[in-house]
Structure 1
């Protein structure tokens, strides 16, 4: 998949990235979008294409993919939710549902880059639950911009020192996983301290 996208990128330019990001954000086609961004980031060192053109093509494709999911969710409603729950995407849809219940609207922003696997399925879910379109669009666009700019920059910055894109992906995934674990641990510590203080007052 990645080799195909990169070949098309070399032949047809940034339009290929637009299509790849759109397809990936719909969740219908399993496109390794994060790895594509990292790989394209390493290619920006050659300066054969303007980074701003790459960024805008990726961003517009990702936002349009988000809008597609939101619109389908809004139009389909409960019937579409039942279809997703029973389909091969059911497990990921359940994860998106639990994530949405916990984080609400701000979760759309974080799902674009911090927990990106649930992002495409969250689009359908928030469309079904009636999250206002403008709020969704703002959160989606800001999150996608962070995700795309961040991973293109990481690929660009590490292009001279990595031996393979797989090692970079592993390191980035480890960092993000560590960050999430740290935030989770810190929230539990704060909750425990709050309960301890409340108990002392009683």
Structure 2
């Protein structure tokens, strides 16, 4: 399920479908959202391989719509089905993601957690139905999932496009670039974890 193969096979429509599945359906937790967005943006650049060249405007639209509609679908499933779907899953990775998503919601509050989760693989899949299960207000969820979804989907796509436009034949270095973007995608969460630990340590010292 590497990003380049998906793009060659399904094009812009495939990007929208993957965004929807990864953010709206628990079965989509294994899909390569970050690397797909970055690679798709890179392949929109004039320097990319012409055999898989993509158009930027339709790509941005497909990515954003898929990510936003998917998140709302996941939230609706969570509100209606409760935790039943997650409980039935035998995936250890999925359950670990659910635990991390619940920790995000507890530690950072609804708004920050929903935005941060967009940048963490698996967590961005689980947090939407989990928000429904935990009774996060619909308006709060909608506002912050749209904010986080647009920054994530459009930001990563434009980052790939910008890099592809500035470096000739950049798609030759796709594998290390994808590894880098995955690392960068979890940076916001790592920063927040470090800050919270420092704050907790300072509080313990004060006591």
Tell me if TM exceeds 0.5. yes
1:109-158 deviation digits (Å, cap 9, x = unpaired): 11112x24301111111101111112111111110111112211221122
Aligned counterpart in structure 2 of residue 192 of structure 1, from 174, 189, 201: 201
> Which has the higher mean CA deviation after the structures are superposed, 31-40 or 185-194?
185-194
Match of 2:27 in 1: 28
Structure 2: unaligned runs, 5 residues or longer: 48-52
- How big is the shift at 1:176? 4.6
Q: Check conservation: 2:115, 2:147, Cα contact below 8 A.
A: yes
2:192 and 2:81 map into 1 onto residues whose CA distance is 35
Q: CA RMSD in A?
A: 2.5
CA 1:134–1:180 in structure 2 vs 1: closer, same or farther (change >3 Å)?
A: closer
Secondary structure of 1:102's counterpart equals helix
Map 1:35-184; keep pairs closer than 5 Å. Answer: 35-46=35-46, 50-84=55-89, 87-88=90-91, 89-106=94-111, 107-113=113-119, 115-159=120-164, 160=167, 162=170, 163-177=172-186, 180-184=189-193
1:19-41, Cα deviation, whole Å (9 max, x unpaired):
12111212313221111111111
Q: Secondary structure at the match of 2:122?
A: helix
Q: What is the aligned length?
A: 192
CA distance in 2, matches of 1:18, 1:173: 19
Q: Deviations over 1:143-187 (max 9, x none)?
A: 011111221122112222644222112223334555544443344
CA distance in 2, matches of 1:9, 1:192: 49
Please say if residues 101 and 117 of structure 2, whose CA atoms lie closer than 8 Å, have aligned partners that are also in contact.
no
CA contact (8 A) 1:108 1:136 kept: yes
Instruction: Identify if the C-alpha distance between structure 1 residues 123 and 150 changes in structure 2 by more than 3 Å, giving closer, same or farther.
Output: same
Give yes or no for contact 2:86–2:95 (8 Å, CA) kept in 1.
no
1:51 is displaced (CA, Å) by: 2.3
Structure 1 spans left out of the alignment, 5+ residues: none
Q: Is the 8 A contact 2:4 2:39 kept in 1?
A: no
Bigger relative CO (Cα 8 Å, ≥ 6 apart)? 2
Q: Is the 8 A contact 1:38 1:165 kept in 2?
A: no
